Structure 1
C-alpha cells in the first residue's frame, strides 16, 4: 500500500502485458524506482493475464517468439535455448515459431525479476483521477500525486454476454474462474461452448477429454486467420498513412480499424486441432434462450429447435474498454476529448490524451485505448512496444539505465 499522498513522476494504472512492458521501458530510460509506480488490483504483475490464459485452456501463444515483454526481440529464444527448452518454440506454418504459454510466462517472470519490477507495484484499485498540474490519483489504498499517468487497462471484468444468457451454476462465462478448463467440467458431461473465436476454440478442445460431447456453437461460420491483422499493420509508416491521415477519434479511423482486425477468427493450427477431436462438433446457429431443467440446460435456437446440455460456457468476449466506468470518470473529470463511440482523441506522436480545449493532458494510454493511433495491433504485444516508444517521446532525454542489456 502506498504512503498517504505519495508523489511519483510516472504512475501506470494496470500491471498486465502493457503496463509491465512500459514499466521496464521507463525504468531503462532513467526513471528511478522512487519516481515510478504500477497500481494493480491484483498486486502482482501479469496476474490477470496468467489467470485468463489458464482459464481458457491456452497452450501456445498466437504471436511468435519475438513478441514478449523483454528488451531484445530474440531474448525469449535465447532464454529457451539457455534453459534447454527449445522444443517449446512450436514450429508454425507461414510464421516464425510460437512459444508455449509456460515458456512465455517463465520468460516474463525472468524479465520481471531481472529488472526488479515487483518493487514498483502497489496493490490497489484506482477509483478516479482529478487535478490540474500534478494529477491526484485516488485508489482504494489512498491518494497518489503523479506528474504523468498511463492508463494500461483493459475492459476489466466487463464480459459480453448474450441477452438470453443468465449466469447460473450450469451457465457461466469462460473468464469467471481462473481454474483450468478440465477442472470445471465433470466427467461425462455434455458441454456447449458459445462463441466462434480463439478463446472459445481453446476452451472447447481443452475439455473434450472430460466431456462426453462438446458442441462449439457460433452465430457465424468459423473463419481462420493466422494473425489478428495483416503484418503490414506492424509498420509505423503504414499506420501513419492509414490512420493519421484521418481526423483523430473519427468514425473513419474506427471503421478502418474494424476492417483491419481479424476479429473472432481462429488460427489455422487451432482449426486443425478442432477437426481432429472426435467428440467435438461445430454448430452454426443463433441461440435465443437457455432454461435450466432437471436434466441440465435446455438451449433454444433461432429455428425453435431445443438442445440439451449439462453445462454451458460463454466465450463471447468483452465489452469495449471505451465504456469502462473508470475511463468515463477520468475523461469527464479532466475534460478529455472523446470521439466516435467514446474513442480517446490522442496526440499520435506521444499518445497523450487531448483535452477538449486542444491542449495535451498528462494522461497517456496504451492497449486498445490507443488503437486509434497505434492501429490494429494496439491491444497486442507489438502494440505495447509501439506505445512505449511513443510515450517515451513525451519526456525529456535521460541517461538510460543499462541493466544487463546484453542478456536475454
Structure 2
C-alpha cells in the first residue's frame, strides 16, 4: 500500500514529526506510517527513564510533542493536576505527566492506526516513490520519508571493560535491554559523571545504601540545561547558520553541549547522599580492572583502588551516525551529501534529497546543538511542516 508519509523511528523525534504532520493537516493517520522496532510509541524513552528513576525532565514545560507550546500546561490544568507536577523556575514537567500527555496526544490524533512494528533494513526509490523494506520482508511505499533515527542502541562502554568476563548481570550499560539493576551484587560502582549517572546513583543508593560508589573523570559540571538556552532561538542560531564550513559547525556543536553535566537539584542530592555516607564519590580515570577469584573486581582509579562486585556504566552513547549499513548503502546509491563527520548535509527544510527528510541526530548540522532534544524535535518538525 502507498502512503503519503513514512516516518522511520517512533521515539521522541519520530513521534513529534508525526504529531505535527497530522495536526497541521499535512497527512491523515491512515496515510501515515511510523515504523519502529517496538510495540508502542516512545517505548525506549519510557523504559530508559523509568530504569534510572527519573522524576522530572531537564527541559521546561513548553518542550513536548504537541504543536501548541502551552499544550502540556493546559493538559495539567484540565486534568486538575497539582502544581508539584512542574519543578523549579523553569517549570520542568514530571516524567509522569509528560508521558501521560504524550499518550493522550497519540490517542486524540489516532496515531495508533499509523504504527507499524518492524526493523527497517533498506530504502530504495522506484516509480518516483520511496520504498522502505523491513527485516520481515515487508515493503512500504511513500511519497515522503522522514528518518528519525536515534543513537540509543550505540551504547558507549570504555575499552578497559573488554577484559572483564563477569557473571551475568554484574557488568552492563544502564541502557542495555538485558540490564537488571535489582539483581546486582553489592558493592556497586557507577561509572559516569552526568545526569544519567546521577539518576542511577540516587536510585541504586536506595536499593544498596552505603554500597554504591560513583566514579567520574571530572568534577561535577552543574548546568540547568545540556546547552545554553540561547541555542533555542536566534541568539546563537543565526550566527551558527552563517557558518558554511561543516567541520566548523561540528566543533561548535561539541563546544556548545554541556556533556557530562547535571542540573543543580541532582548535584545537591548527590552531595547530601555523600555527606550521609550513603554513597561514595571518587574522581579519576580508571586505568585498569582485574577480576579476583571471588568475582570481586579491583578498579584502579588514578592512585587508588576501588573493590566492587558489580559495575554499571552510565557513559552515554557513541556519537557515530545512526542507521548502520542500510543507510550507508542509500548514501552511496543516491549520492546523499555528508560532512567529514559522516552526518547529513541538508537544506533548511531538512531535506537530504527531494522528499527525504531528517530529524534528530541526523539533522544536527542544520539544527545545531539542540537537535537531539525535545526542543530540537519541535524545531525540526516546524521546518518540515512549513516546507510542504
The answer to whether the superposition gives a TM-score over 0.5 is: yes
Match of 1:114 in 2: 108
Shift of 1:321: 4.6
Contact conserved, 2:56 with 2:87, CA < 8 A, in 1? no
| Residue in 1 that maps onto 2:14 | 19
Deviation at 1:87, TM superposition (A): 3.8
Correspondence for 2:287:
288
1:389 has 2:382 as partner: yes
The correspondence for 1:217, drawn from 210, 215, 218, is 215
**As a proportion of its length, which structure holds more helix?**
2
Pair 1:371 & 2:381 matched: no
User: 1:209 is paired with a residue of what secondary structure?
Assistant: helix
| Larger CA deviation: 35-44 vs 67-76 | 67-76
Structure 2 counterpart of 1:208, from 205, 208, 211: 205
Distance 1:299 1:341 in 2: 37
Structure 2 distance, partners of 1:295, 1:102, is 41
Q: In structure 2, do the counterparts of structure 1 residues 336 and 107 end up closer, same or farther at CA, with 3 Å as the change threshold?
A: same
Q: 1:254 to 1:27 in 2, by over 3 A?
A: same
Structure 1 CA distance, aligned partners of 2:143 and 2:39? Answer: 22
Q: Can you list the C-alpha shifts for 1:291-330, whole angstroms capped at 9, x where unaligned?
A: 3334443233254643210211001111125154143233
Contact 2:61 2:86 in 1 (8 A): no
Aligned to 2:267: 271
For 1:59 and 1:334, how far apart are their aligned partners in 2?
Answer: 44
Superposition RMSD on alpha carbons, in Å?
Answer: 1.9
**Which blocks of at least 5 consecutive residues in structure 1 are unaligned?**
1-5, 354-359, 396-408
Aligned to 1:36: 32
List per-residue Cα deviations over 1:305-361 (Å, max 9, x = no partner): 43210211001111125154143233223221110211210102x1011xxxxxx33
1:230 aligns with 2:228: yes
Give the TM-score taking structure 2 as reference length: 0.91
Contact 1:11 1:37 (C-alpha < 8 Å) held by counterparts: yes
Residue 180 of structure 1: how far off its partner (Å): 7.6
- CA distance in structure 2 between the partners assigned to 1:265 and 1:327 by the alignment: 31
Q: Kindly report which structure 2 residues correspond to 1:64-143, keeping only aligned pairs within 5 A, or say none.
A: 64-92=60-88, 95-131=89-125, 133-141=128-136, 142-143=138-139
TM-score by length of 1: 0.87
Report SS of the residue matched to 2:47: helix
The unaligned stretches of length 5 or more in structure 2 are none
CA contact (8 A) 1:287 1:299 kept: no
